[in-house]
Structure 1
Amino acid sequence: MNSSATRFRKRIYGLPEQAARVCLVCPDFKYNIREGALVGTGSMQPTPTCCCYRFRLRYRIGENPKVWILDPALRCRHDQSKIPHTYREDEPCVFRPGVDWSDGKTLASTVIPWLAMWLMYYEFWHATGEWLGGGEHPEVPIDSSESDNQSNEPE
């Protein structure tokens, strides 16, 4: 068989491995794996001068991961009506769906650092009024069933 004809299958990281890797970068990450979904909460402080944020992560293989900020609540600047690069007030847009994320990547090396960067730019935005994080934000319809699931914290 010609070696150029050999196909390699993309590795997909299972939910237990994804959770273990997130725990390495966010030691207080608490999670459950139920009904094929990894759901957990943790905290991060993007820089020594930034706030410490509690976040919620939900991931199911074959779907895009979602993150929400639980505490402190994200808020608009006094002079602007919307927080940049968010789907909802508490759901930051940290990557381009279908472009930046695939099941062959780990949450710990992508979504978690992307969230930290987003939070850093969020704080810069509060200080300056200018979003310095770049990126593009797709206009995506909000799935009301997902917001209903938002309060389901890991036990």
Structure 2
Amino acid sequence: MVRRSGRAVLTAAQHAFGIRRAVSGSRCRIRRGVLTCIVDLQPTPVSRRYTVRITHRPPLDPVVEVITPVLRLHPGAQGLPHVYTDGRLCLYEPGEWKTDMPVAGSILPWASEWLFHYEIWLVTGAWTGGGDWPSVDQEGLGVAIACSDTGRAGQPAASVTDPPASVA
């Protein structure tokens, strides 16, 4: 563990160890300081299983993408709520995730919670997961929702008119 600006920065190896302990069958590798884990999540016992990829280069923010199944849209929706244009899930507000927080104890539960709310949205069309959204019709939610993206310089967040890229 190293310190950056007074905060502990967990290493890629520490995160990999925690993820492997939290989710049996998860596959993690570290190359050139970048942790990549493939994890199967099932938000509830009656939910589908989702395969997600977590990519993390400490001390930057982790990136979470759903690999399978391909995320579908609610009928009439033009985009997925709380995703960036490149398909990354928007799981937290800027500054909410800290470098001393284990991915297994923060990002994994947040991703599972996102999937839970996605399943509700898929059926009802209403996003129940909360979050700060820019000027968006809260009733229809038929547009891609923009999330702040301060942890990834040079990669803009989704706009309310840009549909997200495929996550397949």
Bin of the TM-score, shorter chain as denominator length: 0.7 to 0.9
Q: 1:67 touches 1:91 (CA, 8 Å); kept in 2?
A: yes
1:49 to 23, 42, 46: 46
- Structure 1 distance, partners of 2:76, 2:22, is 35
Q: Gaps spanning 5+ residues in structure 2: where?
A: 1-5, 133-145, 150-155, 158-166
Partner of 2:9, secondary structure, is coil
> How far 1:139 sits from its partner (Å)?
4.9
Structure label with greater radius of gyration = 1
Amino acid at match of 2:15: Q
1:59 to 56, 61, 82: 56
Do the aligned partners of residues 108 and 22 (structure 1) sit closer, same or farther apart at CA in structure 2, a change above 3 Å counting? same
The normalised TM-score by structure 1 is 0.80
- Structure 2 distance, partners of 1:10, 1:77, is 41
- Structure 2 distance, partners of 1:17, 1:78, is 41
- Structure 1 distance, partners of 2:88, 2:47, is 18
2:106 to 110, 116, 126: 110
Q: 1:64 touches 1:101 (CA, 8 Å); kept in 2?
A: yes
Amino acid at match of 2:20: C
Do the aligned partners of residues 139 and 20 (structure 1) sit closer, same or farther apart at CA in structure 2, a change above 3 Å counting? closer
The normalised TM-score by structure 2 is 0.74
Partner of 1:88, secondary structure, is coil
> How far 1:12 sits from its partner (Å)?
2.2
What count of residue pairs does the alignment treat as equivalent? 135
RMSD of Structure 2 on Structure 1 (CA): 1.8
> How far 1:89 sits from its partner (Å)?
6.4
1:129 to 101, 118, 125: 125
Tell me the percent identity. 28
- Number of the residue aligned with 1:36: 33
Do the aligned partners of residues 45 and 37 (structure 1) sit closer, same or farther apart at CA in structure 2, a change above 3 Å counting? same
Q: 1:94 touches 1:118 (CA, 8 Å); kept in 2?
A: yes
